[in-house]
A and B are shown apart, each in its own frame.
Chain A
Amino acid sequence: MSDLNFIEMSAVEIAAGVRSGEFSAVEVVTAHLDQIDKHEGDVRSFVTQMGERALDGAKAVDERRSRGEELGALAGVPVALKDNMAYRGVETTCSSKILKGWIPPYTATVIERLEAAGAIAIGKTNLDEFAMGSSTENSAFFSTRNPIDLNRVPGGSSGGSAASVAARFAPIAIGSDTGGSIRQPASLCGVVGVKPTYGLVSRYGLIAFASSLDQIGPFARSVDDASLVLDVISGHDGRDSTSLAERSYSHQPIDNDVKGLRVGVITEMLDGLSSDVENALNLAIDALRALGAQVEEVSVPAAKFGLTAYYLIAPAEASSNLARFDGVRYGVRVEGKDMNETYELTRGQGFGPEVKRRIMLGTYALSAGYYDALYGKAQKVRTLIANDFDNAYDRFDVLISATSPTVAFEFNAKSDPLSMYMSDVCTIPSNLAGHPAMSVPFAGGEGGLPIGIQVLAPSFGEGVMFKVASALEAAANYKAIPEWDNKGK
């Protein structure tokens, strides 16, 4: 057994070591499973652990190496998977009672691609039920805790994935982002989180929330790792009709020279930030200027209507997507006196409060007499937002903002739905426009809690987005450390 500290290694380092034979995939996976054994009881990031399967997978990778076979870009790298992505033979719940016990008969394309590259799935992570929420408190099973401060939420909805990377349970994880569900928990847990351009990553096997907004993306502890994972999971898939043909992302060593780059600071996203977050954003602006970037404020006027448009469009699409959970083909059934009552009881008892609230809201927004005034108008606002972003990108290469208005908050701090919805005010506009955006950890705020900076780019602008994020990462004098490693220091 080597004395290497596998749990602090990047995915790039792990894959290089496994491929060269410096260490084995079994050693890597065992170290991460030990870390899970030690701290999962406190963090609770997994709905389902896949320890045995992961060890088998690691053995298979090592055997392939001993046979002299070519290993992939993520050979032996443990990966945590948000539990709204189907994995054949492994329970997939969406953290909902209505899907409890569902064993998918197929596997999501992203998972197939990760495994083909040699990655080892170590567990299915907790989320806000059906990805609806910003704290993971809406999970029907339990809340996940933020590894940096166990008394705080990890954010959401991909809170379990963000927490698993921050806790060193895996160097990388996969989440989905409909209105900020990758970037906001990444910011709150002090890790990197990426929402790619709409259509760049296949969603086959992702349980749909709002189909015109959902996109799968990576979590990692470095920008470089996130870029590598996006390379592996991106590219056309004939099984997803929204997957773009002839488009994929290619990972390259990131040149983080931002000299001469034009960086816009979104004016509409400066309001309502807590003072520590505002301070961190100013430090990020100073850092980019010091590196030679031209940083100026820029207005994206319609962005201020993003939250409203989103809370009409996303629930409307969800009310339609979630109609499939009817107690007939999968999941739980609560039998009534006839089919109609069976639907109503199954859904009434199977869905939690936030999911029911959004189905109600979406059904209302689509109902006769309100469609034009609510859903129709929101879709027009979406066009305005995309146009305003286009105007901004005429003058700027990338835009930046805070990812979240505050650091991680305490449990039960946002019991009013509207105050929870405000958590995503800076992240939602990118989903509405279909653009890529990511969060990179930059500074410690109140109580040393992580603060992420959001880098936004136009469609297919992942290259320049990673460049600027990498510059911020290098300039940041901050690393999020789990609570248990911070004690006694």
Chain B
Amino acid sequence: MSNDDISIETTRHIAYLARLALDEGEVNQYAGQLSAILKHADDIASLDLDGVAPMRHTLNVVNIMRDDEVRPSLDREEVLASAPDAQASMFLVPKIVGEE
């Protein structure tokens, strides 16, 4: 498989998926640069990797479970102090649901 150039339309779609507002200049620039970078992926695209397991972890370790005990968490006021907007112990966000 070879990686074809990434179109302007695809670039806009990727930017939407990543929730990035890009201007026209950025869209054009990233379309070209991503195409150039992904051309380098051609060197692994042609490798025969059938039967090779994808790496899951660099060491053969298993999860470590700890006892479920009650412990103090971060201080709520201190956490909220860094939020762009907060009210009544909660993060305040712009309206999510559209008006009916």
- A interface vs B, CB < 8 Å? 101-106, 198-199, 212, 238, 241, 244-245, 305, 307-309, 311-312, 319, 323, 326-333, 335-345, 347-349, 351, 353, 356-357, 359-361, 363-364, 367, 373-374, 376-384, 386, 417-418, 421, 432-435, 459
Given contacts A339-B93, A377-B47, contact A418 B85 (CB under 8 A): no
Q: Are B83 and A377 in contact (CB under 8 A)?
A: no
Q: Are B54 and A327 in contact (CB under 8 A)?
A: no
**Chain A binding surface SS class:** helix
For the complex, is B55 an interface residue (Cβ under 8 Å from A)? yes
Q: Are A359 and B75 in contact (CB under 8 A)?
A: no
**In the complex, A332 Cα to B54 Cα: how many Å?**
37
For the complex, is B6 an interface residue (Cβ under 8 Å from A)? yes
Q: Are B41 and A105 in contact (CB under 8 A)?
A: no
**Nearest Cβ on chain A to B16's Cβ, whole angstroms:** 8
Residues of A within 8 A of B16 (CB): 344
Residues of A within 8 A of B64 (CB): 241, 245
**Can you report 15 residue pairs joining A to B where beta carbons are below 8 Å apart?**
A104-B82, A105-B82, A333-B85, A341-B21, A347-B20, A356-B30, A357-B33, A360-B11, A360-B20, A361-B38, A417-B37, A418-B40, A432-B55, A434-B58, A459-B59
**Chain B binding surface SS class:** loop
- B interface vs A, CB < 8 Å? 1, 6, 10-11, 14-22, 26, 30, 33-34, 36-38, 40-41, 43-45, 47, 49, 52-55, 57-59, 61, 63-64, 66, 74-75, 78-79, 81-85, 91, 93-96, 98
Q: Are B34 and A364 in contact (CB under 8 A)?
A: yes
Q: Are A102 and B82 in contact (CB under 8 A)?
A: yes
Residues of A within 8 A of B18 (CB): 319, 347, 359-360, 363
**In the complex, A386 Cα to B36 Cα: how many Å?**
27
Residues of B within 8 A of A305 (CB): 43-44, 47
Interface centre among A339, A363, A364 (most CB of B within 10 A): A364
Q: Are B94 and A311 in contact (CB under 8 A)?
A: no
Q: Are A328 and B22 in contact (CB under 8 A)?
A: no
Residues of A within 8 A of B78 (CB): 105
Q: Are B82 and A335 in contact (CB under 8 A)?
A: no
**In the complex, A345 Cα to B19 Cα: how many Å?**
8
**Among candidates A335, A344, A374, residue contacting B19 with C-beta atoms closer than 8 Å:** A344
